Chain A
Amino acid sequence: MCRPFADSSSKAELMSRRKQNKDMLSRMHSQHAQDSQNDQMQTGSFPVVKRKAKGIRTPNPIRARMTTSILIVILCAFLGFGYAIQLNNPTSSYETMSEEELTRLLSETSTQVQSLEQRKGELTSQLNSLKAAANKQQEAERIAKENEQTSGILSGRLPAAGEGVIISISQGSKDRIDASTMFQLIEELRNAGVEVMAINNVRVVTSTYVSDTEDGLECDGQILDPPYTVKAIGDPQNLQNAVNIAGGVGSRLKVKFGANVRVSVPDKVTIGEIHQSRQYRYAKTVE
């Protein structure tokens, strides 16, 4: 805006100067002055066109303000509306996801599932091993109990009852019954498969001995007084046969010693005698 005015003023000045002195030096000087003035001119900034003061406005100011307010209300309502909707449906986020996002999500989920499956497998195997160990322990306990029972009966530590025979042998009328015959009777019964046996009140175990003394028969340190009662648990028929067989121990007792041998077969023979287990001094179990 101001540039043409400046140009015209400088031109007028130049003209007047030309009229005054027309020599070369002064012309060059004036040219240089003009150039330097032009160089100082601000370029590159555009003049700002101011908007017209109030634009086109409706003449009624109340109506204009009402319109503005209504517009603001409507637009803000749109904004709040969108905001509320966006708040209310966070569940439908999968629908709006892009394909790669869904793929990533899927692979992440499947990886997670895999690791969880692996963990589950580990835990299941752990549980199984624990169960197996518990079963094993239970089994061991059961076997130990069984063993305890069996060895208890075998060693005479436990009383026993069951099918069997009771053999009553009276005092020999011809001779005293000697230890070898009594031991033969025990052996015969053992051969017949006796399981538990007792003479009078002495439990017969593997270490039981019978010996002759002046007072009569001695069995495991106890004197046996006639009549002898032998209780035996086992198959009754076999035991009966073992005693009564022709030429066996029964007939020997009858013939040689004149004793009266009677074999009775009750429903149940109870052997309450027990044998005190001994402490082993020399024998040790092999680990």
Chain B
Amino acid sequence: MAAVLGLIIGVVIGIFVQPDIPVVLQPYLPIMVVAALDALLGAARSYFERSFSDRVFVISFVSNVLTATLLVLLGNQLGVGSQLQTAVIVVLGIRIFSNVSAIRRFIFQS
């Protein structure tokens, strides 16, 4: 409930405010979004497993985003930015799928 509310608020703010994202940050924004989505789905899964902890959620959210960003930054500095970006996206995508499947199992089998 709160998650959906927060998503709506964020999208509305993003649409109406139209802020200038610094150019340095722009290549990392999609990665950040995907990492945050992964963290959010992980939180949803833990909520269904009745082991949700707000602290764990916040830390996993921030650490996911930071790790993904730093990995891509490292890749850019090493000259394999696009490949590493793909790798991060793939890994996060796999995690998102596994989280979603876990949530689905909780919804349809309980």
| A positions within 8 Å CB-CB of B | 55, 64, 67-89, 92, 95-96, 98, 101
Q: A72-B2, A80-B11, A83-B33 are in contact. List 17 more A-B contacts (CB 8 A).
A: A71-B54, A73-B6, A75-B57, A76-B4, A76-B7, A79-B7, A80-B9, A81-B14, A85-B19, A86-B29, A86-B30, A86-B33, A89-B21, A96-B26, A98-B76, A98-B82, A101-B82
Also in contact, A79 and B54, with CB within 8 A (given A72-B6, A95-B23, A98-B81): no
Distance A72 CA – B11 CA, assembled complex (angstroms)? 15
Find B21's partner among A55, A71, A85, A98 (CB 8 Å cutoff). A85
Q: Contacts A80-B7, A82-B29 known; A75 to B23 CB distance under 8 Å? A: no
B6, A80: Cβ atoms closer than 8 Å:
yes
A84 touches B57 (CB 8 A): no
Docked complex: B5-46 residues within 8 A CB-CB of A: 5-15, 18-19, 21, 23, 26-27, 29-30, 32-33, 36-37, 39-40, 43
Closest B residue, CB atoms, query A69:
B2
Report A-chain residues with C-beta under 8 Å of the C-beta of B18: 88
Interface size class of B (residues with CB under 8 A): 35 or more
B54 engages A82 (CB within 8 Å): no
Contact of B26 among A68, A71, A81, A95 (CB under 8 A): A95
- Whole-angstrom distance from the CB of B55 to the nearest CB of chain A? 8
Q: A79–B15 contact, CB under 8 A?
A: no
Name 23 A/B residue pairs within 8 A (Cβ), A-sorted. Answer: A55-B53, A64-B54, A68-B2, A71-B58, A72-B2, A72-B3, A72-B6, A73-B2, A75-B36, A75-B40, A75-B57, A76-B2, A76-B10, A78-B10, A79-B36, A79-B40, A80-B10, A81-B11, A84-B10, A86-B33, A88-B14, A95-B23, A96-B23
| Chain A residue with Cβ nearest B11 | A80
Q: Beyond A68-B54, A71-B54, A98-B81, is A83–B14 a contact (Cβ under 8 Å)?
A: yes
Residues of the A chain whose Cβ atoms lie less than 8 Å from the Cβ of B40: 75-76, 79
Tell me if A84 and B3 are in contact (CB < 8 A).
no
Cα A286 to Cα B61 in complex, Å, equals 97
For the complex, give the distance between the alpha carbons of A82 and B29 in Å.
Answer: 7
A136 to B11 Cα, complex, angstroms: 69
Within the complex, the shortest CB–CB distance from B1 to chain A, in Å, comes to 8
Known: A75-B61, A80-B6. A92 touches B26 (CB 8 A): yes
Contact between A84 and B11, CB atoms less than 8 A apart: yes
Q: In the complex, what residue of chain B is closest to A80 when comparing beta carbons?
A: B10
How far apart sit A74 and B11, CA to CA, in the bound complex (Å)? 12
**Residues of chain B within 8 A of A87, CB atoms compared:** 14
A80 contacts across to B, CB distance below 8 A: 6-14
**Chain A residues, Cβ within 8 Å of B4:** 76
Bound CA–CA A98/B58 (angstroms): 32
Chain A residues, Cβ within 8 Å of B29: 82, 85-86
Kindly state the separation between the CA atoms of A197 and B2 in the bound complex, as whole angstroms.
Answer: 113
